Amino acid sequence: MKAGRKTTGGRYKRPKKRKLTGRQSQTRIVKIGNKKTKELRTRGGAKKLVLFLDNIANVVTEEKSKKSIIKNVLKTPSNTFLARQNILIKGAIIETELGKAKITNRPSQEGNVQAKLLGMD
């Protein structure tokens, strides 16, 4: 058989070259505390503001949106251990000054915390 060919005649594909874009970035954990952000360069040269600490959430009420201080993470449906460590992720139920709210965005990707007040449905 020819080199680089299977017994059936098909060819073996070469492994892809390692590239900078293929690297894994470190997972960002957002906790409760005074706001701490960092600006990252994304693909194409655009900038992304990532969040590490925050204690203020933009809570949407029936009338409008209000800034509210985050007191505690009550429940995280995807992982119960994250609620114990007060980690803010999408879907987490948080306790704010206005009441219980559910995080509707991904804080580690967007640089802020957006939430919707529970009991509005």
Residues of the domain holding 73: 28-117
pLDDT band at 21; cut points 50, 70, 90: confident
Report yes or no on 46 lying in a domain: yes
Domain count, the chain: 1
**Average pLDDT of the segment spanning 95-115:** 93
**Do the domain assignments include residue 7?**
no
Say if 17 falls within a structural domain: no
Q: Which CATH number do you get for residue 110?
A: 3.10.290.70
Residue-wise pLDDT tens digits, 49-103: 999 999 999 999 888 999 999 999 999 999 989 999 999 999 999 999 999 999 9
Residue 54 is predicted with a pLDDT of 94
Q: Which helix (H) or strand (E) holds 50?
A: strand 47-53
pLDDT at 120: 63
Residue 36 lies in a domain: yes
CB-based burial label for 20 (10 Å; 0-12, 13-18, 19+): exposed
d(C-alpha 95, C-alpha 70), whole Å:
6
In a domain, 73, yes or no: yes
Contact 68, 96 (CB under 8 A): yes
Per-residue pLDDT at 121: 54
CB neighbours of 115 closer than 8 A, spacing ≥ 6? Answer: 57, 58, 59, 60, 68, 94, 96, 101, 102, 103, 104
SS3 (DSSP) at 62: coil
CA torsion sign, 102 to 104 to 106 to 110? negative
When the pLDDT of each residue in the chain is averaged and rounded to a whole number, the result is: 90
Domain assignment present for residue 10? The answer is no
Would the pLDDT of 48 be above 80? yes
Q: How far apart are CA 21 and CA 60, in angstroms?
A: 36
Residue 64 belongs to some domain of the structure? yes
